[in-house]
Amino acid sequence: MSTTPSVQPRTAFAPVARVHRVAKRYGTGDAAVHALRGVDLSIGRGEFVAIMGPSGSGKSTLMHLLAGLDTPTAGEVWLGEREIGSLDDTALTLLRRERIGFVFQAFNLVPTLDVIGNVLLPFELRGAKPDREERAAIGALLEELGLADRLGHRPRELSGGQQQRVAIARALASRPQLIVADEPTGNLDSRTGREVLALLAAAASGHGQAIAMVTHDPVAASYADRVVFLADGRLVAEEGRMDAARIARFMLELEVAA
């Protein structure tokens, strides 16, 4: 078998996002918390990856690093061909706006903007306007998420589940290369949750978007192409598509071991 020639153009194979031996320590001395202890993970175009693990295992920390919202204590974070440690704040902000959609636990909606204003914000920030095709896709997305009759409402006039769906619509609307989602179905009933998961799966398979999704729910993780398990800041297992029952058994074993 021949070895891979090192002259291959790296960018042709560059994953959408990659962390290389990342560690993250919060605080110092006796108070130090080692949230991540050397994690490698790479997410390719069109790949839907679920990240699971016990509470406190480092999942949200990993999502913040992948999204370029925080920096590692050690190791590297790559977005496409760029190592983000080499970027200044402005360059990183621009790269994030251009490439990443976020759904975080706090939703981060702009309180003074209504639903449609929040969903179109990524376009606004880029100084772009959705074209006819994009407007039609956003209309369909809002319809599917059950938000079509709430477009003029502010976040505080919405339920938690509705706010979560607005955050999901915003992350999907501009079809960023990477979507980073922390418990995106956490506040949703099971039918709405399944709709959101189907939308994420379609974003990956239909539009080639890369998706990193943290979830505690084995059913949610069963929609992913790959399931990654974290425990105590380490990646302890990584599997291809798994059914929910098997994921649940895996999780149980991890929690027993922890």
For Mg ion, give the closer residue by CB, 7 or 106.
Answer: 106
Kindly tell me which residue out of 19, 58, 176, 242 binds ligand ATP, with binding defined by CB under 6 A: 58
Is residue 8 a contact residue for ligand ATP (CB under 6 A)?
no
61 counts as binding ligand ATP under rule CB under 6 A: yes
Q: Which stretch binds Mg ion (CB under 5 A): 59-67, 107-115, 137-145, 159-167?
A: 59-67
60 is a site residue for Mg ion (CB under 5 A): yes
Residue 252 CA to residue 258 CA, distance in Å, equals 10
Q: Which two tokens stand for residue 51?
A: 């990240």
Q: Rank residues 44 and 56 by Cβ distance to ligand ATP and give the closer one.
A: 56
181-237-39 Cα angle (round to 5):
65
Q: Please list the alpha-helical segments (H only) found in the chain.
A: 59-66, 89-99, 115-125, 132-144, 160-173, 190-207, 218-221, 244-257
Q: Is residue 163 near ligand ATP by the rule CB under 6 A?
A: no
C-alpha to C-alpha distance for 185 and 168, rounded to whole angstroms: 9
Q: How far is the CB of 138 from Mg ion (least distance, A)?
A: 29
Rounded-to-integer distance, Cα 154 and Cα 239, Å: 41
Tokens of 124: 């606004």
Q: Does 33 bind ligand ATP (CB under 6 A)?
A: yes
Site residues, ligand ATP (CB under 6 A)? 26-27, 33, 35, 53, 55-61
